[in-house]
Structure 1
């Protein structure tokens, strides 16, 4: 089993933190306020394939700096993001993670899908084979061109309808690429992550060595355990330049951040999530009909892993990915004893977490 391996980015922790919220005795009125205040998307149609053995939730972290109505953040916030101008990065889904919550009460499995996998982009004009992260933004652009030609839509409506097309395309693309249903999803933007980290007033992380990337992410950290403010937290989960394994080390950073958030909430109780509620309502989108509280009550624990990078612009990597997903779910959720040697899961071992629960990463 691989704990604290790769995964998660801007959005994963807020969805999983609901599990902590639900299990910490938070008043129903507090949860109800959060649940009813979040925007809901109809990007997953009622007749979409559904899981037979649990619930699959897709967590999406977008590169966009714009809010849900398409407005840019204030200049002072944009400066703190250290991520270039407001439209840099477009609407790529740079973070994609599928969380499987089984019906049998065993721990959930959170599987990161690397953004550089090549896949057929379902819901995008021409169904091109491109990096899987591009489905959202490409579909959004297609839909907005159609709506502008149609006429009669204001800017906020164009933004929402375009993003609904992006969500449909990203969900469909991930579903077909992984070969498993997607029952629900949650979405958060780059700016949304910053505001949520800000609401938590600091999170502890640990680094194996000092590292810096002042040009791209703004990262500049000493070795050892340290508390990050919102801007530092964003730099921490965004940095890939200067790291030996690039994007893979970045996903380890994101995983470590998620673990730190969950530990902090457990230690401090519901009060740690109180300031997050209003921020979440302005930045998080959930799929229509998803009962987050019910899902949270079913989570007995979470095991983290990452899937491999497969496929090229010329070659289809779905078969290899389907195999990897099957191995991951089989080994992490319902491992069975075997008398014969088996192929290792598509992840490498990682050291056990330290006693305080916060893993040190590169």
Structure 2
């Protein structure tokens, strides 16, 4: 994957996975608006049985009850035509323990340098690259077109190889094309801003900043000029464009993409609280708008179970105690050449705790893995 190809994906695509988490982790609560309404609009969500691949030997899709411990894999993509290879610019895993009352979220850095396994459908023989390229390497259909659902299968295999998580109970692709409508249908979102952030992309009015003429070919690291929207620490009710702009930013932040990952996870929690508030769950008209918008944004593989089934199974989750986990890291070089990011020591032990459903015990012993400002 060339650097120019990676630059073609707008940064805000990286946050697009977040509503997949919110939809799956809170849809049980919104049943108070009426199961008929939910069934009507979740029916518009594209259900696909090909995201997480075939079940393990001896297992049958949908034959088992939805129960923990389990892991859900979500990837966010920028809306693209089927002639352009997709990049998974947001990768989030949600772990739900056996108790089914808690959610632990961790993001996998998009620039993490990993081994991507071979993938027979595309003839990809395997190799090392940034993890966000896995979906691209797995998406070609051989006729000049690309299938993001097929690409997700290779992403899932890559995450499995990285983490040791052998199976995912569900998977979701969230397309940013319908995402902004979801936040607008919610009437915005109230969230805590934990640091001063200046927008690389928007003016204070929300209008796009002007692009420098010499950067038309996307060759500049900072292609925009003019006044910048600034977000100051505090708790605010953000309009849709403000919330989405805030969580897309990484330039100028002390820890760049790692700060952005934390902001994305904060956004998930804020959206979950917003969906569960009385102003939403008891408002059928608002729920109609939200679920209708979700149908344009989400492709979901529930391992044989529908979104409604998942909503019922996860109805006891406590979003107030949703735990946001940080996987720290740093730059990886081959001599003077930047390859991507690497994970910090202790990450393998964390993945082992996920596999063994011992995250709570691990975090008690390693509190540095918890995002303090989540």
Structures share fold, TM-score greater than 0.5: yes
**SS of equivalent residue, structure 2 residue 369:** coil
* Partner Cα separation in structure 1 for residue 231 and residue 103 of structure 2: 33
Change in Cα spacing, 1:336 to 1:263, as seen in structure 2 (3 Å) is closer
Over the aligned positions, Cα root-mean-square deviation in angstroms equals 3.5
1:331·1:345 contact (CA, 8 Å) conserved in 2? no
Q: Find the counterpart in structure 1 of residue 126 from structure 2.
A: 127
Deviations 1:253-301 (A, max 9, x none): 2122222212222221323433111111122100152343343333523
Separation in structure 1 between the aligned mates of residue 252 and residue 138 of structure 2, nearest angstrom: 33
> Is this contact kept in 2: 1:34–1:278, CA < 8 A?
yes
1:154 aligned partner: none
Q: Which runs of 5+ in 2 are unaligned?
A: 1-13, 60-65, 203-207, 210-227
Paired residues of 2:51 and 2:172 also in contact (CA < 8 A)? no
Could you tell me how far 1:346 is from its partner in structure 2?
Answer: 5.8
1:300 aligned to 317, 327, 330, which one?
A: 317
Aligned partners of 2:353, 2:52: CA distance in 1, in Å? 26
> Structure 1 residue 130: deviation in Å?
0.8
2:154 to 169, 185, 191: 169
2:188·2:237 contact (CA, 8 Å) conserved in 1?
Answer: yes
Structure with bigger RCO (C-alpha 8 Å, 6+ apart): 1
Please point out which of 11, 21, 26 is paired with 2:33: 26
Kindly tell me the number of residue pairs found equivalent between the two proteins. Answer: 307
Distance of 1:247 and 1:279 partners within structure 2: 28
So what's the TM-score if we normalise by structure 1? 0.72
5 Å matches for 1:107-146? 107-122=102-117, 123=119, 125-140=124-139, 143-144=140-141, 146=142
* Contact 1:308/1:346 (<8 A) preserved: no
Q: Which runs of 5+ in 1 are unaligned?
A: 1-7, 72-86, 149-157, 352-358
The answer to whether the Cα contact below 8 Å between 1:54 and 1:102 also exists between their aligned partners in 2 is: yes
What is the CA-CA distance between 1:15 and the residue it aligns to? Answer: 3.3
Q: Could you list the per-position Cα deviations for residues 299-354 of structure 1 after superposition, in whole angstroms to 9, with x for gaps in the alignment?
A: 523322123448958799799643221246768645399xxxx9625615615xxx
What's the TM-score, normalizing by structure 2? 0.70
Residues 144-163 of structure 1 aligned to structure 2 (within 5 Å): 144=141, 146-148=142-144, 158-159=145-146, 162-163=147-148
Q: Is the 8 A contact 2:138 2:154 kept in 1?
A: yes
Q: 1:53 to 1:229 in 2, by over 3 A?
A: closer
SS at match of 1:275: helix
User: Is 228-237 or 286-295 further displaced after alignment?
Assistant: 286-295
Asked whether the 8 Å contact 2:325–2:371 carries over to 1, the reply is no
- Could you tell me which of 141, 164, 167 is aligned with 1:179? 164
Partner SS, residue 226 of structure 1: strand
SS at match of 1:274: helix
1:99 pairs with 2:94: yes
